[in-house]
Protein backbone atom coordinates (compact mmCIF):
# COMPACT_ATOMS: atom_id res chain seq x y z
CA UNK A 1 0.00 0.00 0.00
CA UNK A 2 3.05 2.29 0.16
CA UNK A 3 3.65 1.92 -3.58
CA UNK A 4 1.70 4.30 -5.82
CA UNK A 5 -1.00 2.42 -7.78
CA UNK A 6 0.50 3.40 -11.15
CA UNK A 7 3.83 1.79 -10.12
CA UNK A 8 2.25 -1.54 -9.26
CA UNK A 9 2.57 -4.49 -11.63
CA UNK A 10 -0.34 -4.85 -14.01
CA UNK A 11 -1.21 -6.05 -17.48
CA UNK A 12 -1.86 -3.09 -19.79
CA UNK A 13 -2.55 -2.24 -23.42
CA UNK A 14 0.82 -1.60 -25.08
CA UNK A 15 1.18 -0.79 -28.76
CA UNK A 16 4.73 -1.61 -29.85
CA UNK A 17 6.68 -3.02 -32.75
CA UNK A 18 8.72 -5.18 -30.37
CA UNK A 19 8.17 -8.93 -30.43
CA UNK A 20 6.52 -10.81 -27.59
CA UNK A 21 9.12 -11.63 -24.95
CA UNK A 22 10.99 -8.33 -25.35
CA UNK A 23 11.68 -6.21 -22.29
CA UNK A 24 11.28 -2.46 -22.86
CA UNK A 25 12.71 -0.14 -20.21
CA UNK A 26 11.11 3.30 -20.49
CA UNK A 27 13.57 5.28 -18.38
CA UNK A 28 11.81 8.70 -18.47
CA UNK A 29 8.46 7.14 -17.49
CA UNK A 30 10.10 4.89 -14.85
CA UNK A 31 8.27 1.86 -16.27
CA UNK A 32 9.41 -1.51 -17.57
CA UNK A 33 7.25 -3.46 -20.02
CA UNK A 34 7.41 -7.16 -20.74
CA UNK A 35 5.78 -7.49 -24.15
CA UNK A 36 3.10 -10.19 -24.13
CA UNK A 37 2.01 -9.69 -27.76
CA UNK A 38 -1.38 -8.85 -29.26
CA UNK A 39 -1.08 -5.25 -28.03
CA UNK A 40 -0.58 -6.23 -24.38
CA UNK A 41 2.29 -6.02 -21.91
CA UNK A 42 3.00 -6.55 -18.26
CA UNK A 43 3.96 -3.16 -16.80
CA UNK A 44 6.15 -2.67 -13.75
CA UNK A 45 7.22 0.45 -11.87
CA UNK A 46 11.00 0.80 -11.68
CA UNK A 47 13.78 2.89 -10.20
CA UNK A 48 16.40 4.06 -12.68
CA UNK A 49 19.90 5.54 -12.81
CA UNK A 50 20.43 9.12 -11.83
CA UNK A 51 21.29 11.58 -14.61
CA UNK A 52 24.15 10.26 -16.72
CA UNK A 53 24.13 6.77 -15.20
CA UNK A 54 22.13 4.43 -17.36
CA UNK A 55 22.25 2.07 -20.27
CA UNK A 56 20.82 3.16 -23.61
CA UNK A 57 19.89 1.17 -26.69
CA UNK A 58 19.54 -2.58 -26.97
CA UNK A 59 20.98 -5.43 -24.98
CA UNK A 60 20.45 -9.13 -24.48
CA UNK A 61 19.92 -11.07 -21.31
CA UNK A 62 23.32 -12.68 -20.71
CA UNK A 63 22.38 -14.57 -17.58
CA UNK A 64 20.07 -14.62 -14.58
CA UNK A 65 20.73 -15.22 -10.87
CA UNK A 66 18.61 -15.88 -7.79
CA UNK A 67 19.70 -14.06 -4.61
CA UNK A 68 22.83 -12.80 -6.40
CA UNK A 69 25.98 -11.55 -4.75
CA UNK A 70 26.79 -7.87 -5.28
CA UNK A 71 30.16 -6.22 -5.71
CA UNK A 72 30.45 -2.49 -6.47
CA UNK A 73 32.10 -1.74 -9.79
CA UNK A 74 35.51 -0.03 -9.81
CA UNK A 75 33.76 3.16 -10.99
CA UNK A 76 31.35 3.02 -8.03
CA UNK A 77 34.28 2.64 -5.63
CA UNK A 78 36.15 5.55 -7.28
CA UNK A 79 33.08 7.82 -7.18
CA UNK A 80 32.20 7.11 -3.55
CA UNK A 81 34.93 5.18 -1.71
CA UNK A 82 33.51 6.03 1.72
CA UNK A 83 30.25 4.28 0.84
CA UNK A 84 31.46 1.47 -1.46
CA UNK A 85 35.06 0.46 -0.62
CA UNK A 86 33.95 -1.60 2.38
CA UNK A 87 31.94 -3.80 -0.03
CA UNK A 88 34.81 -4.36 -2.51
CA UNK A 89 34.96 -8.03 -1.48
CA UNK A 90 31.28 -8.49 -2.32
CA UNK A 91 28.02 -8.83 -0.44
CA UNK A 92 26.41 -12.28 -0.29
CA UNK A 93 22.88 -12.76 -1.57
CA UNK A 94 20.09 -12.17 0.92
CA UNK A 95 17.64 -9.61 2.25
CA UNK A 96 20.34 -6.98 2.89
CA UNK A 97 21.88 -7.28 -0.58
CA UNK A 98 21.25 -4.25 -2.85
CA UNK A 99 20.41 -6.55 -5.82
CA UNK A 100 17.45 -8.04 -3.99
CA UNK A 101 15.88 -11.39 -4.83
CA UNK A 102 16.88 -11.70 -8.52
CA UNK A 103 19.23 -10.15 -11.06
CA UNK A 104 19.02 -10.14 -14.85
CA UNK A 105 22.41 -9.36 -16.38
CA UNK A 106 22.49 -7.22 -19.53
CA UNK A 107 25.03 -7.84 -22.29
CA UNK A 108 25.96 -6.03 -25.50
CA UNK A 109 28.01 -7.74 -28.21
CA UNK A 110 28.59 -10.69 -25.88
CA UNK A 111 30.08 -8.50 -23.12
CA UNK A 112 28.65 -7.79 -19.68
CA UNK A 113 27.56 -4.14 -19.58
CA UNK A 114 27.64 -4.15 -15.75
CA UNK A 115 24.01 -2.98 -15.91
CA UNK A 116 21.35 -5.15 -14.30
CA UNK A 117 17.63 -5.39 -13.89
CA UNK A 118 17.35 -6.41 -10.26
CA UNK A 119 15.33 -6.35 -7.09
CA UNK A 120 16.06 -3.95 -4.27
CA UNK A 121 16.30 -3.73 -0.52
CA UNK A 122 15.14 -0.09 -0.89
CA UNK A 123 11.53 -0.33 -2.13
CA UNK A 124 11.01 3.42 -1.66
CA UNK A 125 13.42 3.96 -4.60
CA UNK A 126 10.85 2.66 -7.11
CA UNK A 127 9.75 5.57 -9.27
CA UNK A 128 12.97 7.48 -8.56
CA UNK A 129 16.18 8.20 -10.51
CA UNK A 130 18.87 7.47 -7.94
CA UNK A 131 20.74 4.27 -8.80
CA UNK A 132 24.20 3.91 -10.35
CA UNK A 133 22.51 2.94 -13.60
CA UNK A 134 20.79 -0.35 -12.92
CA UNK A 135 17.03 -0.83 -13.19
CA UNK A 136 15.51 -1.52 -9.76
CA UNK A 137 12.26 -3.39 -9.24
CA UNK A 138 10.28 -4.47 -6.22
CA UNK A 139 11.45 -7.95 -5.24
CA UNK A 140 8.08 -9.53 -6.01
CA UNK A 141 8.13 -7.87 -9.45
CA UNK A 142 11.65 -8.95 -10.37
CA UNK A 143 10.74 -12.50 -9.32
CA UNK A 144 7.76 -12.33 -11.72
CA UNK A 145 9.86 -10.89 -14.57
CA UNK A 146 12.69 -13.38 -13.91
CA UNK A 147 10.27 -16.26 -14.46
CA UNK A 148 9.17 -14.77 -17.82
CA UNK A 149 12.54 -13.94 -19.43
CA UNK A 150 15.24 -16.24 -20.79
CA UNK A 151 18.94 -15.78 -21.50
CA UNK A 152 19.27 -14.43 -25.03
CA UNK A 153 16.06 -12.40 -24.68
CA UNK A 154 16.03 -8.83 -26.00
CA UNK A 155 16.00 -5.71 -23.84
CA UNK A 156 15.43 -2.24 -25.32
CA UNK A 157 16.15 0.82 -23.19
CA UNK A 158 14.44 4.12 -24.04
CA UNK A 159 16.27 7.26 -22.88
CA UNK A 160 15.07 10.85 -23.16
CA UNK A 161 11.80 11.88 -24.70
CA UNK A 162 9.85 9.15 -26.41
CA UNK A 163 9.65 9.64 -30.17
CA UNK A 164 6.26 9.63 -31.90
Q: Which residues form the catalytic set?
A: 118, 134
Number of neighbouring beta carbons within 10 Å of residue 69: 14
User: Do strands 154-158 and 57-66 pair parallel, antiparallel, or not at all (unpaired)?
Assistant: antiparallel
* Cα(126)–Cα(20) distance, integer angstroms: 25
Residue 55 backbone dihedrals phi, psi, to 5 degrees: -80, 145
- CB-based contact 132:49 (threshold 8 Å): yes
- CB-based contact 28:70 (threshold 8 Å): no
Amino acid sequence: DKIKPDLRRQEVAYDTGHAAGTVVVDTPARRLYYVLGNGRAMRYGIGVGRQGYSLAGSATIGRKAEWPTWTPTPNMIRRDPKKNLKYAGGVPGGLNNPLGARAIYLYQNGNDTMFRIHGTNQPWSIGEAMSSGCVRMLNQDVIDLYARVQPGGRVHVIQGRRQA
